[in-house]
Amino acid sequence: MHPALLVAAALSAAVSPLTVDEIVARHTEARGGAQRLAALQNLKISGKAFFGGGEDFAVTAEFAQVRKRPNRIRTEVTLQGLTAIDAYDGQQSWSVDPFQGRKDPFRTTADEARGLAQDADLEGALIGWREKGNQVSYLGTEDVDGTPAHKLRVALKEGDVQYVYLDPDYFLEIRRVSERRIRGSERVTETDFGAYAQVNGVWIPTSVESGRKGGPKTQRFTFESVEGNVQADDELFRFPAGPGTRAIPPPQKPAPLVARPPPLKGMAQSAVVDAGVISGLNARNIGSATMSGRISAIAGRKVDGKALLYVASASGGVWKSQDGGTTFKPVFDKQPVQSIGAVEIDPKNPQVFWVGTGESWTRNSVSSETASTSRSMAARAGPAWGCRRPSGSRRSPSIRATPTWSMPARRASSGATVPIAGSTRRPTAAGAGT
């Protein structure tokens, strides 16, 4: 073969996209491996459910769920002494809905049973997709709030369709769009996953937000305890002979969930930054802001040999670059505040970054109204944000992240240091999750 053809063939092979089998294999490994997944027979989850939507969720309830092989599930939501139940025993589904006046157990439709069976799958529709009768196709990458996620279309054996988005670094699921037919009409929901923690060697998301696609997330679930291979009798999932009552007790002494970054796949070599690299960089506008695109803060870190940058604008939100400043994408556009005073990358996990809203320079042309809702927010480089409101300031001149905890301290305009607790979702994780 001609040398030029050999070079062309080598270059073509080097840039060839991943196959479905390669992506699913990486996803399986990222979850903990096929052997550990097979050893996980059930999961018991306890935590909080938040309903309402928007930034402030109006209703908080207790949440409990047990999933057991094969395809058994029971979910309980308890509020003010009343417990709603949705259950599936592998063949039939049933519910109790006291909030709608139905305090006695009743059978639910085949459409609802099909949805519960899908939710009961411990591995998800991707792992073992051939054995489950599903069909999977790879659709390339798609932006998920600043992350170029791998997108796969999963046609389920029952006829429903899921679009699964995997993080490009960790190959864990960060978003799922489900298309289901309920009573003859199509229902499309979008669910975001994050704050992954290890349970029996398997990575499990401990933060879940869901809502209609294109709309606000109206349901949020935060898991406080996740246990694997607990005692769970089949009777728990069957239609009860008497009244349906709460049957999943909260754990007495729950072990703390330690969410930490899973290992990255394919660590890159360290980048070499010299005068030849820097000399090719030119100043350019990367986002909208008043007064000629004023930049209020910049945070950077070298991750896997690449420069990770977060650029905060005085009135244009936050912009992210994963390629050393070659390209930028906005990651804060959906938040109610666009005036940014500080940005900081978590010292323990570069995929977690903190943003303090409210520009510190009061004389510039950002209205006091935008700064009046000043807060510190955290994201795991992905679609979800957590919000903490420190007292004593409407603006954020700086954020200092401590090296021992994934928890920054925010310096208010008065000079007082206010600790900020918490985080949000994503496959990397820390205390309260992302």
Return the HEC string of the chain: CCHHHHHHHHHHHHCCCCCHHHHHHHHHHHHCCHHHHHHCCEEEEEEEEEECCCCCCCEEEEEEEEEECCCEEEEEEEECCEEEEEEECCCCEEEEEHHHCEEEEEECCHHHHHHHHHHHCCCCCCCCCCCCCCEEEEEEEEEECCEEEEEEEEECCCCCEEEEEECCCCCCEEEEEEEEEECCEEEEEEEEEEEEEEECCEEEEEEEEEEECCCCCCEEEEEEEEEECCCCCHHHHCCCCCCCCCCCCCCCCCCCCCCCCCCCCCCCCCCCCCHHHHCCCCCCCCCCCHHHHCEEEEEEEEECCEEEEEEEECCCCEEEECCCCCCCEECCCCCCCCCEEEEEECCCCCCCEEEEECCCCCCCCCCHHHHCCCCEEEECCCCCEEEECCCCCCCCCEEEECCCCCCEEEECCCCCEEECCCCCCCCCCCCCCC
- Residue-wise pLDDT for 123-182, tens only, equals 999 999 999 999 999 999 999 988 999 999 999 999 999 999 999 999 999 999 999 988
Looking at residues 173-199, what average pLDDT do you find?
Answer: 92
Is 6 within a domain? no
Beta bridge partners of 49: 61, 221
- Which of the listed residues 218, 237, 256 is the one where a domain comes to its end? 237
Residues 230 and 364 both lie in one domain: no
- Residue-wise pLDDT for 337-387, tens only, equals 777 888 888 877 777 788 888 776 655 555 444 444 444 555 544 445 555
Mean pLDDT of the chain: 78
Is 426 within a domain? no
Show the tokens assigned to 341: 């005073």
Residues 214 and 282 both lie in one domain: no
Is 171 within a domain? yes
State how many domains the chain has. Answer: 2
Is 250 within a domain? no
CATH number at residue 94: 2.50.20.10
Is 322 within a domain? yes
Residues 296 and 178 both lie in one domain: no
Residues 198 and 288 both lie in one domain: no
pLDDT score of 37 more than 90: yes
Residues 407 and 360 both lie in one domain: yes
- Which of the listed residues 184, 218, 237 is the one where a domain comes to its end? 237
Residues 163 and 312 both lie in one domain: no
Residues 32 and 164 both lie in one domain: yes
pLDDT score of 26 more than 90: yes
Q: How confident is the model at residue 111 (pLDDT cuts 50, 70, 90)?
A: very high
* Domain carrying residue 160: 17-237
pLDDT value, residue 192: 95
Residues 220 and 105 both lie in one domain: yes
